[in-house]
Amino acid sequence: MSGARRMNEDPEVGESRSSNKSRKKARLDSKRLENELIHEQQRSLLQEYRDVEVETMKNRVEMTKTGDINIAMHELDKANELYSKAKETSDNTIYAEDSKVMVNVSELAHLSVKNLKLGDTRGFINVNDILNGCKSFMLKDYFKQNDISEPVLKDLDGHDEEDDDNGDGVSSNNTANDKAALRVRNSANRHNFLAQFEKYDQFEQFNWFKMGMLYDSLSKNVQTTDHFFGPFSIEAKVRLYTQTNRDDGKVGKLATAEKVTKSASKSDDKGSTATNVQYCYTTLEKKSPFPTRISLFEFFLDPNSFAKSVENLFYTSFLIKEGKIVLEEDENNLPVIQIKEKLPSDRTQKNIESQQRRQASVNHIIFQLDKPTWSKLIKKFKVKKSYL
């Protein structure tokens, strides 16, 4: 009876095991298909990122010509859309591509701002026109108080700007080319009008309060009632004087510092870095004044001393960093240096030039010089004696 019972139970056990294997295989197949689907989505997303990167690199040329910020905004929208998909994955390769795309979009926006063109002539922003426009706004009260006739901007048809809402005096029958040409002429006329205010440069002539009120009404800065210079109450600290007892019995031998003479001080300064940098600049200014240019290698190479050449290159880097000399490329793409042009004598132009120089981009160059390279440079540029 027991043998028959076992024979009857064996088919059920086999069927149960077969069912378990089928379910396990189905789960594995489902998981494999799910992984393949995820990998396929990641590959597709990665390809989309690379397409955006290629398109961004192509748009750099167009951005340099037009300065259209809409190109950068369009690429930014694409990057944001792809990032919304990338957040659902954990693949670091996709995040690396996203970072690369954002860097390219940032550079694209930088190019747009750098090449931004405004006005009817689609030209660059004229700093002088902005300054003179501010002057005309702040000089109105000065003209009234001193009975000075204020300059009036007139369009090319002879009408005052206040009497003509259109501002360009173009009839509806004129062609588009005539309108564009007239806008360009009116822009030049406005530039000449604003140039009349350039001669006013005294601080007390301008109504700075009026400019401040204009800024306060248009800006979005936080309104304040007063400035805080510190806490409301300050407790004066009482200084405590302590007296120290000196043991006169343990006083050692009197010692004084070595007396430094004027001649000794000059001899010590002779080998200092500042003195050598000043000597290099003076020598260049005397032998090659502005705008004469000289090869960088001819300037610092010393055919008789490798160590002196390295030292001269070190001093040259200080002059470039401090803005005393300019490093450029000649027509053969070789590095040349020259004395930096002095600032203009006019105060307004001097301030504008100083601001432009401060905002200019700075490039860092790593220059490696070993003895074989030093020997080859001397033969290449035929350096017979040291320039310095």
Q: Which residues contact 12 (CB under 8 A, 6 or more apart)?
A: none
Q: Do 186 and 135 belong together in one domain?
A: yes
> In terms of DSSP H, where are the helices of 167-291?
176-195, 208-218, 262-269, 273-287
Q: Does the pTM of the predicted model rise above 0.75?
A: no
DSSP label of 338:
E
Q: Do 283 and 359 belong together in one domain?
A: yes
Which CATH number goes with the domain that contains 316? Answer: 1.10.10.580
Q: Do 38 and 109 belong together in one domain?
A: yes
DSSP label of 118:
B
Q: Which of the two residues, 172 and 234, has the higher pLDDT score?
A: 234
Q: What percent of the chain has pLDDT over 70?
A: 72
- pLDDT reported for residue 228: 58
Number of domains observed in the structure of the chain? 3
Q: List, for residues 320-354, the tens digit of each pLDDT value.
A: 888 888 888 888 888 888 888 887 778 888 788 77
Q: Which long-range contacts (CB under 8 A, 24 or more apart) does 321-328 make?
A: 323/357, 324/281, 325/281, 325/284, 327/296, 327/365, 328/293
Q: Is residue 357 part of a domain?
A: yes
Q: Which of the two residues, 225 and 108, has the higher pLDDT score?
A: 108
Which range has the worst mean pLDDT, 83-87, 118-122, 330-334? Answer: 118-122
Torsion of CA 32, 37, 42, 46, to 10 degrees: 130
Cα-trace Rg, the chain: 38
Span 225-247, average pLDDT: 66
For residue 281, give the amino acid letter: Y
Buried b (16+ CB within 10 A) or exposed e, 182-217: bbeebbeebeebbeebeeeeeeeebeeeeeeeeeee
The C-alpha angle with vertex 379 and arms to 375 and 385, in degrees rounded to 5, equals 85
Q: Do 107 and 6 belong together in one domain?
A: yes
Q: Do 274 and 170 belong together in one domain?
A: no
Q: Are 296 and 337 in contact (CB under 8 A)?
A: yes
Span 217-230, average pLDDT: 69
- pLDDT reported for residue 167: 44
Q: Is residue 190 part of a domain?
A: yes
What whole-number distance in Å separates Cα of residue 32 and Cα of residue 181?
A: 68
Closest among 29, 28, 36, 45 to 88, alpha carbons compared: 45
Average predicted confidence (pLDDT) for the chain: 76
- pLDDT reported for residue 70: 78
What whole-number distance in Å separates Cα of residue 127 and Cα of residue 327?
A: 27
- Strand (E) or helix (H) holding 294: strand 294-295
- Strand (E) or helix (H) holding 337: strand 335-339
Helix (H, G, I), strand (E, B) or coil at 335: strand
236 has pLDDT over 60: yes
308 has pLDDT over 70: yes
Q: What percent of the chain has pLDDT over 90?
A: 3
1 has pLDDT over 50: no
Q: Is residue 261 part of a domain?
A: no
Residue with tokens 């501010």: 134
Confidence of residue 388 (pLDDT cuts 50, 70, 90): confident
Q: Do 304 and 372 belong together in one domain?
A: yes
**Token pair of 239 as six digits:** 């200084």
Q: Do 376 and 283 belong together in one domain?
A: yes
Range of the domain at 355: 269-381
Q: Is residue 119 part of a domain?
A: no
Confidence of residue 206 (pLDDT cuts 50, 70, 90): very high
Span 287-310, average pLDDT: 87
Domain boundary residue, one of 114, 135, 160: 114
Q: Is residue 165 part of a domain?
A: yes
Q: Do 77 and 178 belong together in one domain?
A: no
Q: Is residue 63 part of a domain?
A: yes
11 has pLDDT over 80: no
Q: Do 301 and 367 belong together in one domain?
A: yes
61 has pLDDT over 80: no
Q: Do 92 and 166 belong together in one domain?
A: no
**Is the peptide bond preceding residue 151 cis, with omega within 30 degrees of 0?**
no
